[in-house]
Structure 1
Amino acid sequence: MKTVIKNVLLGSVAGLAMVGTAAAADLPVKAKAAEYVKICSTYGAGFYYIPGTDTCLKVGGYVTADTYYTDIDAKSRYTSPDLLIRNSDDPDGQSYFLTRVGVQLDARTQTEYGTLRSYFEGRFNAGEDYGFGQEIETGEFDFSDGSVNSAQMKYGYIQFAGFTFGRATSAFDFWAGDGWQGIQPGSFYSDTTLNVVQYTADFGNGFSATIALEDSYGREDQYANFVELDGQQVPDIVANIAYEGTWGAFKIAGAYHQIGNYDPLTPDLAPFFSSDDSGWAALAGVRFDFAETTTLYVEGAYASGAPGYLGLAGTIPVVDLYGNGIAGWYVGGALIHYWTPSVFTTLVGSYTQSDNFQTEYAFVYGPVTDPSVVSGIASTDFTGYNVGVNIGWVPVKGLTLVLQYDYLSAEYAGTDYINTAAVSTEATQNRITFSAKRSF
């Protein structure tokens, strides 16, 4: 009996030992602590530490969906003592749609030399384009009638110890069309993004100064860059002095723009040629902030042999028929007022005018089967203005709905002294825009 009890007890002890061993084997091994994404509050809302690094990253973007209705009226006139030619074109208004998706990445790291920053914005555009305005990709003033499906790097730069390298906003620009809404903004002002090497010195108390080398190709159209300017030998040299304070801001900027070699278009008139080999531009702008509800921008610029600094790349030549740099100016601005935190209105616009310059012209008239042509060299100038008004509503954070109307006029007018004639070409445009933009 004792032997039986002993065997039972030993068996029970062995069984318990086995159970204990099995239970120990089934216990979970302590896992390595998970590395969660941490908020980075150093640079403001929306930044997070990239896991395993001390770099803070903000990911954002936006979607803009625009609907347009544009009505254009174009006319030209040739008047001499013995001939009058008038041409006009008033097509029906056109409706079209544009959509843009923007992706933004902002990476910042604190170093012993200050903040190391990399910024990127990519834009993806789709839709049809019609009418006069700032060209959707390059910012040039132009007429477009076609597809704008494209992918574009708007910004892509590195900032470190006061330097900026890459594709960024020109050190020349200040107002840059603030107040215009939608993918197609207004015209006749300087707003250019291009490749740069910039250095900015911060003097404290809101004052700073910038010196920059900027890609001159980004300021002119293809004809100017490779025909009139004969390529880029020296990049544009741009400098500014700026201030940012509680009442607003101001900037004074200047730029040097190399013209390069120019071969006259009419060799038999060579004895009369003068040839400018450099252009320049100057800008002054101010912004007033009133009671956190109203912002007023006022800006003016003058340029000679550098129409890209007036937003007129491709609109007026860099040099005229005789090789002289063409000068011009613009004044513009905007008044933005928030009636409530979610409702605002804007009055925005600009006016531009060039000095007289010499250019060739040709007017075609008569029957289509046997047309006649009158041509010559006119001393002409360009005048343009674009004014607009909009009302916007922000029903929820991140969503902006805007209805906008604008009117544009662009005219070349001059005199041909040889033919004793007055010549002019004018285009006007009425445009209505509805824009919906979601930012995140």
Structure 2
Amino acid sequence: MKTVIKNVLLGSVAGLAMVGTAAAADLPVKAKAAEYVKICSTYGAGFYYIPGTDTCLKVGGYVTADTYWTDVDVKDRFNGFQVTNRLDPDGQFDFTTRAAIQLDARTQTEYGTLRSYIEARFEAGESFGFGQNEDGTAGGFDDVGGSDAYLKYGYIQFAGFTFGRAQSMFDFWAGDFWYGIRPGNFYSDTTTQLVAYTADFGNGFSATISLEDAYGRDGDFGGNFFLPDFDLIDGQQVPDVVANIAYEGTWGAFKVSGAYHDIGDVLFTGLPISNSDSSGWAALAGVRFDFAETTTLYIEGVYADGAPGYLGLKGTIPTVDAMGNTVSGWYVGGALQHYWTPSVFTSVVGSWTETDDFSILDAFASAKFEGYNVGANIGWIPVKGLTLVLQYDYLSAEYKGTDTFFLPPDTFSQETTQNRITFSARRSF
């Protein structure tokens, strides 16, 4: 009897144990807490924390579809008579699509904000006429379709330092309020490799010192029908040294910049010119006025000697002339934009540049360059993030030369004029 009772009790305990085990196996396992994307309000709208980090990221970009009608005319003259008509085609239509992806990552550290910024750009379509290269230099005539991808900006900022590819610390206005392909750039607008330090004095004042890649400010000159080719033959020995003092306030901003440019040895085709240890320089003064929230006005001027890239004339005029002397010049430019309503605006943009006389071929022949562009546009923002613009711009660029070896002196010139109408649609996000 005792044995029976014992067996029953043992069986009951075993059964209960099995039931408990089965029940335990059916219990749900606690899942890891989900890491939701959180808004980062420290740096303004559009920033979010990257999950699992203390880094804030903002993603943006745009897609732009441009349609152009362009008419170009290039004429050569000798003693007032037209000797060639290099280009006088009927105006033509072209289409270009451009896009950009922008990434802005920021992390707060004990030394301040650590920031990295990337802007990658993509282009496809046709280009006809004279326009601005994406590095900010003056573009030549083009009538070729194709596509391109490149890094417009890519830099790191930390404790006042900037490292990487960024807008030159010399620049100020940089052609704001142009839309589509800019019609040449008789102003300073260069993206370049640099190492810079900015001291913030508070109350809107700052000062910057920067070492910058000289490539965007100097380079080969392809020549024309009376100017020979110009080549740098020893590369970049010293980077450009740029410094500025700037102010940003409620009424607007101003900037004063200076640049030192090392030239190195140069060679004109067929002319044994050497100017070792030559250097150039440039100075800028610019101001921006913000009138309420509806109107913005830019005005700036630059003088440069032996540094044509600071006039927006890289590849347009030589750095030194046929006698080995540096070529100097200046420009003034500006832009005005007014919002008639929150969704309708108009802009007027223009600039003028001119060089002093410089020697060509020999001591008797000299030339100078004059150029200007003007334009106006009207824009409509039907919904947030979409901008539609209709723009007209006109460009004139002329080389004028004189040869005093003969009496009376011979005169010669090459004149380029361009008319362009642009319709631009941009979706920003």
**TM-score for both structures, normalised by structure 2:** 0.90
| Structure 1 residue 32 displacement after superposition | 1.3
**Within 2, Cα distance between the matches of 1:175 and 1:138?**
12
Corresponding position of 1:190:
188
| Structure 1 residue 149 displacement after superposition | 1.2
| Structure 1 residue 189 displacement after superposition | 0.5
**Within 2, Cα distance between the matches of 1:129 and 1:264?**
30
Corresponding position of 1:118:
116
Corresponding position of 1:29:
29
Corresponding position of 2:329:
328
| Structure 1 residue 282 displacement after superposition | 0.3
Single out whichever of 17-26 and 122-131 deviates more from structure 2. Answer: 17-26
Shift in alpha-carbon separation, 1:35–1:274, aligned structure 2, 3 A = closer
Shift in alpha-carbon separation, 1:231–1:274, aligned structure 2, 3 A = closer
| Structure 1 residue 220 displacement after superposition | 2.3
Shift in alpha-carbon separation, 1:169–1:137, aligned structure 2, 3 A = closer
Single out whichever of 417-426 and 208-217 deviates more from structure 2. Answer: 417-426
Alignment map for 1:21-420 (pairs within 5 Å) = 22-79=22-79, 84-88=81-85, 89-184=87-182, 186-223=184-221, 227-228=231-232, 230-263=234-267, 277-360=278-361, 378-419=365-406, 420=409
Paired residues of 1:276 and 1:324 also in contact (CA < 8 A): no
| Structure 1 residue 378 displacement after superposition | 3.1
**Within 1, Cα distance between the matches of 2:63 and 2:21?**
61
Paired residues of 2:132 and 2:181 also in contact (CA < 8 A): no
**Within 1, Cα distance between the matches of 2:98 and 2:317?**
29
| Structure 1 residue 221 displacement after superposition | 3.3
Superposition RMSD on alpha carbons, in Å? 2.7
| Structure 1 residue 321 displacement after superposition | 1.0
Secondary structure of the 1:312 match is coil
**Within 1, Cα distance between the matches of 2:370 and 2:251?**
34
Secondary structure of the 1:25 match is helix
Paired residues of 1:64 and 1:99 also in contact (CA < 8 A): yes
Single out whichever of 134-143 and 320-329 deviates more from structure 2. Answer: 134-143
**Within 2, Cα distance between the matches of 1:37 and 1:267?**
65
Secondary structure of the 1:36 match is coil
| Structure 1 residue 122 displacement after superposition | 0.5
Deviations 1:252-278 (A, max 9, x none): 00000011123465558x7xx877700
Paired residues of 1:413 and 1:424 also in contact (CA < 8 A): yes
Shift in alpha-carbon separation, 1:75–1:186, aligned structure 2, 3 A = closer
Shift in alpha-carbon separation, 1:202–1:309, aligned structure 2, 3 A = same
| Structure 1 residue 137 displacement after superposition | 4.9
- Paired amino acid for 1:354: T
| Structure 1 residue 198 displacement after superposition | 0.4
Shift in alpha-carbon separation, 1:341–1:267, aligned structure 2, 3 A = closer
**Within 2, Cα distance between the matches of 1:436 and 1:424?**
38
Corresponding position of 2:7:
none
**Within 2, Cα distance between the matches of 1:167 and 1:359?**
36
**Within 2, Cα distance between the matches of 1:222 and 1:164?**
28
| Structure 1 residue 51 displacement after superposition | 1.4
**Within 2, Cα distance between the matches of 1:250 and 1:229?**
38
Deviations 1:358-383 (A, max 9, x none): 2249xxxxxxxxxxxxxx97311111
| Structure 1 residue 159 displacement after superposition | 0.4
Shift in alpha-carbon separation, 1:148–1:216, aligned structure 2, 3 A = farther
| Structure 1 residue 105 displacement after superposition | 0.7
Aligned residues: 414
- Paired amino acid for 1:214: E
| Structure 1 residue 39 displacement after superposition | 1.1
Paired residues of 1:343 and 1:392 also in contact (CA < 8 A): yes
Secondary structure of the 1:60 match is strand
Structure 2, unpaired ranges of 5+ = 1-9, 223-228
Identity of aligned residues (%): 72
Secondary structure of the 2:309 match is helix
Shift in alpha-carbon separation, 1:223–1:410, aligned structure 2, 3 A = closer
Deviations 1:78-121 (A, max 9, x none): 018xxx55322421111111111101111111111110001100
- Paired amino acid for 1:359: I
- Paired amino acid for 2:416: A
Secondary structure of the 2:42 match is coil
Corresponding position of 1:3:
none
Shift in alpha-carbon separation, 1:158–1:215, aligned structure 2, 3 A = same
- Paired amino acid for 1:145: D
Corresponding position of 1:366:
none
Paired residues of 2:135 and 2:190 also in contact (CA < 8 A): no
**Within 1, Cα distance between the matches of 2:165 and 2:397?**
31
**Within 2, Cα distance between the matches of 1:240 and 1:384?**
27
| Structure 1 residue 187 displacement after superposition | 2.1
- Paired amino acid for 1:187: N
- Paired amino acid for 1:343: V
**Within 1, Cα distance between the matches of 2:336 and 2:290?**
10
Paired residues of 1:107 and 1:119 also in contact (CA < 8 A): yes
**Within 1, Cα distance between the matches of 2:42 and 2:233?**
47
| Structure 1 residue 285 displacement after superposition | 0.3
